[in-house]
Amino acid sequence: MITITDIDRQQLLKNGQEAKAVKNFDPRPVLKLFAPWSNMTWLISEMSPDDNNVLFGLADLGNGAPEVGVILLSDLSSMEGPGGLNVEADRFFTPTATLNQYASEASLAGKIIL
pLDDT digits (tens, 9 = 90+) for 41-60: 999 999 999 999 999 999 99
Among 62, 74, 76, smallest CA distance to 106 is for 62
pLDDT of 1 above 80: no
In a domain, 60, yes or no: yes
pLDDT of 95 above 90: yes
Domain count, the chain: 1
Average pLDDT value for residue range 23-42: 97
In a domain, 114, yes or no: no
pTM above threshold 0.85: yes
- According to DSSP, the β-strands at 41-47 and 54-60 are antiparallel
In a domain, 1, yes or no: no
In a domain, 65, yes or no: yes
Which residue segment(s) compose the domain that 21 sits in? Answer: 6-109
In a domain, 41, yes or no: yes
